[in-house]
Structure 1
Amino acid sequence: MVAINTFKQLALSFPGTEEQPHFEKSSYRVKKKIFATHAPDSHIICVKLSEIDQSVFCAFDKTIIYPVDNKWGKQGWTLVDLKKVKKAMLVDLLTTAYNGVAVDKATRQQGIKAKRS
């Protein structure tokens, strides 16, 4: 189990991250892009993953990590149960979500090209 305060500390530990309101939730953003959200009365958080990363994390245990049940889920938005997830897994999830928005598309593509060389 991961406490909500621990989640907040982890999310805010990434460079350039800001906490801002997003409708009734708190959002965690870098470069004005959301990588995680949390509703104040819930133990469930939502992170933005690529479709590939989402499938990998969800394969671990679909009772802990699972896609949002609508079109947002098909775009990589993924729910995580803080009552069940281990801290190390949450750190991996947040790092992946943060990097997915913090690193621009051109840099990611350049990294892919470099790996192929």
Structure 2
Amino acid sequence: MLAEKQFMEMALSFPAVEQGSHFDVTDFRVRGTIFATYREKDGRAVLKLSPDQQRLFLETAKGMLEPVPGSWGGKGWTLAILQRIDADTLRHAMSLAWRSVAPKSLL
């Protein structure tokens, strides 16, 4: 089981990440584009994956990740279930999310 602190520290460990917020959600951005969010009031951790990446994780990491309900989930936004996900799986998914918004100069 991963904690909020571990999720946030992991997100901040990638190059050029800035922590911000919108409404009641802490977000993690690269040059203004969000790749991960964390909502403290319910422990909801979300990653920006492509729909194909999301499908792959749903098959290979069953029960650890799930689509965000509604149209956002159809676009690849994915809940990381911190009570079930292991650190390696989260780091891999978060790395893909970070790469989806990072400029080529950072890759």
Matches for 1:13-92 after TM superposition, within 5 Å: 13-92=13-92
TM-score, scaled relative to structure 2: 0.91
Which residue does 1:99 correspond to in 2?
A: 99
User: How far did 1:61 drift?
Assistant: 3.9
State the 1:23 CA deviation.
1.4
Gaps in structure 2 of 5+ consecutive residues: none
Q: Distance in 1 between matches of 2:64 and 2:22?
A: 23
- Higher share in helix: 1
Quote the offset at 1:102 in angstroms. Answer: 0.6
Give per-residue Cα distances to partners, 1:7-60, cap 9 Å, x unaligned: 111100111101101211000000100000010122330000011111111112
Alignment length, in residue pairs? 105
Structure 1 stretches of 4+ moved >4 Å: none
Indicate conservation of the 8 Å contact 1:29/1:36, yes or no.
yes
| Cα distance between partner residues in 1 of 2:67 and 2:103 | 22
Helix, strand or coil for the counterpart of 1:18? Answer: strand
Measured on the aligned residues, the alpha-carbon RMSD in Å equals 1.5
Task: Render the CA deviation track for 1:50-88: whole Å, top value 9, x for unaligned.
Answer: 111111111124422111110111111000111110000
Higher-Rg structure is 1
Q: Distance in 2 between matches of 1:103 and 1:62?
A: 30
* Partner Cα separation in structure 2 for residue 94 and residue 27 of structure 1: 13
| Superposed displacement of residue 103, structure 1 | 3.6
Partner SS for 2:54: helix
